[in-house]
Amino acid sequence: MNRTPTWILQDDTLPPSGDYCGESKALYSFDLDQDILFYSAVKLTRETHLQLPLDRLRQKSSADLQFSKFTPFDPPSSPQLDLTGFPPPYRQPSTSTTDHCLLFTSRILSDFSYQWRYILRRPNRECTFLRLARAIVSIATCDFEVREVTRQGSTFGVFYVVKVDNLPSWKPYKSRLFTIGGTTIVLDQDLRTALKDARVNAEERRRELMNSGDRMGSITYLLLSIRHMMLCHATCDGSFSYTAPTTLLDGVDPPSPKSIQLLLQALASASQPPPRTPVHNLPLKVQDRILRHVSEGPIEAARLGCLLDLGSPFTWLRSHDPPRSGGSIELLTAPSQRTEFTPVDSDICVGRWSTGVSYR
C-alpha cells in the first residue's frame, strides 16, 4: 500500500545518524542553502543515505528521475575534541553541589540525551544547537516547568513523543554569550572557539572596570558545545584558568556524574541561594511529607526540593503513590492509555514546549 509522503517544514536538516529510536523511516530533506535533496532510509540496523542536486529536479526530464541518479553520501559524524588546544595546568572547581540536584538532574539529563541521541551524534545548525543548549541549562538549574496529566484516557497528543524525524521545538537562546546570575555562558559547537571568546570577553570586562576605577571580582565562564564543556575562571589581575574539557552529551554514552557535577558547579552562582524558612528546621521526614502536597506527582515536588534545599534526595521510586506504591519512575517513550491506577504523568517543559522527557 503506497502512502502519501508527509512533508514538514523545519529549520534544520536530518539526515539522522546512529540510533534511530527503533523506527523504520524514509526521510527526504531539502537543504535549500546547499541546493541538495537528501534521502535517508532506515530499516532495523541497515541505513541508506543518498543525495541529489536540486537542479536535476528542475529539469524537464525530472518526471523520469530514478534512484539510480542519486549518489551515496556519509552523514556527518560527531565532532571529536582535540585536547591539544587545551594545555594544562587545569583548575579544580571549588564550588560544592548538593546531592539533591546531582541525583535529580543527572537522571533528567541522561534521559534527555537518550531521547535526542540521533541529533546529538551529529553537528547541528545554529538554531538547533541553541535550543539544545537552552534545555540543558534549564534542566541543570531546575528552571523548567512540569506539566502533569492525571485524567483517564489516551495520552496521545499530550506528550511530545520524540521520533527520528523530530527536532526540538522550544525557543532557542538569542545569543551565544550571555550571563545568568554570576555565571557567563559561552556557547559554540567548537569548544576552542568558545575558549577564545571567553578570553576576549574577560579582557574586555577587565579593561572597562579599570578605566572606570572599579575592581573586577572573579568571573566564572561555562563553555558549552553540548558534546563537551569546561569551566573557566578570570580575575582582576588578568589571570585566566580553566578545568580540563570533559564530555557532556554526545548521544552515545550517558553523561557521567563527573560531567554533571561540573555543570552544576559552573551554574551554582546562576541563581540566588534558597531562602531560609521555618520548614528547614523540621525533620527531613516532615519536610518530605510537606513536599508531597505541593503537586500531584513526585517530579515537581523533587524540583522544588532542589530549588529550596528541602527534603531528602530524590530516589526516583514511587514510594508514596497509593494505590500505586512501589516501583521505579519510568521514562515515557510512546503514548499509552491512562486508567484510574496509572501514575501521574510528568512532562518536563521549557516554556510551554515539551523537551521530549516525560515520566510516569
Q: How many helices, marked H, and strands, marked E, lie in the chain?
A: 8, 15
Supply the pLDDT for residue 340: 80
Give the number of other Cβ atoms within 10 Å of residue 157's Cβ: 8
Q: Between the CA of residue 300 and those of 7, 297, 316, 344, 359, what are the distances in Å? A: 36, 7, 12, 11, 11
CB under 8 Å to 262, separation ≥6 — which residues?
93, 229, 231, 243, 246
Supply the pLDDT for residue 16: 53
pLDDT in tens, 121-157: 888 889 999 999 999 999 999 999 999 988 877 555 4
Q: Which amino acid is at 124?
A: N
CB under 8 Å to 285, separation ≥6 — which residues?
none
Quickly list DSSP for 15-53: ---S--TT--EEEEEEETTTTEEEEEEEETTEEEEEEEE
Cα 343 to Cα 339: distance, rounded to the nearest angstrom: 9
pTM of the entire predicted model: 0.84
pLDDT in tens, 309-318: 999 999 998 8
Give the number of other Cβ atoms within 10 Å of residue 40's Cβ: 24
Supply the pLDDT for residue 154: 57
Give the number of other Cβ atoms within 10 Å of residue 242's Cβ: 20
Cα 155 to Cα 172: distance, rounded to the nearest angstrom: 27
Supply the pLDDT for residue 8: 65
Cα 207 to Cα 35: distance, rounded to the nearest angstrom: 46
CB under 8 Å to 273, separation ≥6 — which residues?
none
Cα 170 to Cα 161: distance, rounded to the nearest angstrom: 14
CA angle (89, 95, 99) in 5-degree steps? 125
Cα 243 to Cα 91: distance, rounded to the nearest angstrom: 5
Supply the pLDDT for residue 70: 86
- C-alpha grid cell, residue 183: 555565571
Query: Of all helices (H) and strands (E), which one includes residue 36?
Result: strand 36-43
Q: Between the CA of residue 292 and those of 107, 144, 310, 327, what are the distances in Å? A: 20, 19, 12, 17
Supply the pLDDT for residue 228: 94
Supply the pLDDT for residue 9: 67
Mark the ranges of the chain whose per-residue pLDDT is less than 70. Answer: 1-10, 13-25, 42-45, 60-65, 76-79, 154-160, 213-216, 320-325
Q: Which of 101, 96, 163, 175 is nearest to 133 (CA)?
A: 175
- C-alpha grid cell, residue 15: 539526515
